[in-house]
Chains A and B, each alone.
Chain A
Amino acid sequence: MVTRGFHGRRSAEADPSRVPPGQYVTRDFPVLSAGPTPRRLAADWTFTIRGAVDEPVVWSFYELRALPATSITTDIHCVTKWSKLDTHWRGVSLDTLLADIDTSADYALAFSDGGYTTNLPLADLTGGQAMIAYEYEGEPLTAEHGGPARLLVPHLYFWKSAKWVRGIELRDDDHPGFWENYGYHNYGDPWKEQRYAGD
C-alpha cells in the first residue's frame, strides 16, 4: 500500500471506506494496558509455540530477528472506537514461525508478560494476516506499545494484538482469553462491529 502526502488533511478527511462502523480516526496512538508495563530486555525475551505440538519451539529475540522479516502498512482498530490509519510495522510473519510446525490445532491462545491472554482461530494467524512485530514506524517497538515484540493481527480489534507477547499455545479447543472471558467478542471483527459476545 502506498502512502501519499497531505497526512494532516488525509487524517481529517479519512476515506470512510477504511473506517469500520462506530470508529473514529485518531492520529494519536493511545496507550491502553491492563497492567503495569513490563520492562523486559530483548536479551531476556523469548517466543514459544507450545500446546498441540510434538515439542515446544522457542526463539530468542536474536533468532527471531535473524528470520526473514516483512514490513506492512496497515490500519488498526481499537474496541474503544479509535482507528489509526497507515501504521507501519516490521516483524516476522506467523507463517514463517508456523512453517515447520505440525499441529492438529484449530485455535491459538496468545500469552504475554503480565499474564494477559487472547484467543483466536489459528487460521487468523496464517495467510499473511499476522506477525510478531518488533518495529513500529521504523523504530524498535517501545515497551509502552508492547516491546520488545507484540502480536499484530490488524484485521481484528486491537485487543487481539497482544502486547509483550511471549508465545502462542496451539489448542484443539477454543479457550477464551482475558477480555473474551469478560464478555468481549470471541472473534472481534471490527467490520462486523463484533465488540461484545453476541454482536
Chain B
Amino acid sequence: MTDRLDGNAIAGTLQAVFGTEMTTATGVCGHCGDRNRLGALAVYLAGPGTVARCPGCDTVLLVLVEVRGVTCVDALGFADLNPAA
C-alpha cells in the first residue's frame, strides 16, 4: 500500500499559487542536486497538508497547506526553482 502520487496531483494548486503552469517547471534539490520537473516529484497527501519530495533522495522540497481557504506553499528544499521556459 502506498499513498505516493506525483506532482501532477498538485498541478492545480501550484498553478493557483504561482499563477502559471508549474508541473513543467524545473527545480534543483538542495540536498542531492537532482534536477526534476515538479510533475515528477513524489507527492504525499498527508493529514494536515501536502508534501512533495525529491524522487531521488526523499528530501522535502515543497510543503503545501491550506489554512482557512488560503493555500501557502513553502519551497523550502529547492536550491533553485525555474518556471518552464
Residues of A within 8 A of B (CB): 31-37, 78-80, 115, 144, 158-159, 179, 182-184, 196-197
Name the B residues within 8 Å of A37 (CB-CB): 2
Tell whether, in the assembled complex, residue B67 and residue A80 are in contact, meaning their CB atoms are under 8 Å apart. no
Most chain B beta carbons < 10 A, residue from A31, A34, A78, A179: A34
Tell whether, in the assembled complex, residue A183 and residue B72 are in contact, meaning their CB atoms are under 8 Å apart. yes
Nearest chain A residue, comparing its CB with the CB of B47: A32
CA distance A79 to B65 in the complex (A): 12
Tell whether, in the assembled complex, residue B67 and residue A31 are in contact, meaning their CB atoms are under 8 Å apart. no
Tell whether, in the assembled complex, residue B72 and residue A182 are in contact, meaning their CB atoms are under 8 Å apart. yes
Most chain A beta carbons < 10 A, residue from B1, B67, B72, B74: B67
Most chain A beta carbons < 10 A, residue from B48, B51, B58, B72: B48
- Give residues of chain B (46-63) contacting chain A, Cβ–Cβ below 8 Å: 46-49, 51, 53, 58, 60, 63
The answer to whether the Cβ of B10 comes within 8 Å of any Cβ in the partner chain is no
Interface size on B, residues (CB 8 A): 21
CA distance A135 to B11 in the complex (A): 38
26 A-B pairs with CB atoms under 8 Å apart are A31-B1, A32-B45, A32-B46, A33-B3, A33-B46, A34-B44, A34-B46, A34-B51, A35-B44, A36-B44, A36-B53, A36-B58, A37-B2, A78-B47, A79-B47, A79-B48, A80-B47, A80-B48, A158-B47, A159-B48, A182-B63, A182-B65, A182-B74, A184-B48, A184-B49, A196-B67
18 more A-B residue pairs beyond the given contacts A36-B4, A78-B47, A79-B48, with a C-beta to C-beta distance below 8 A: A31-B3, A32-B45, A32-B46, A34-B44, A35-B51, A35-B53, A35-B58, A35-B60, A36-B53, A36-B58, A159-B47, A159-B48, A179-B49, A182-B65, A183-B67, A183-B72, A184-B48, A184-B65
Task: Encode B7-44 as 1/0 by CB contact (under 8 A) with A.
Answer: 00000000000000000000000000000000000101
Known: A31-B3, A159-B47. A36 touches B72 (CB 8 A): no
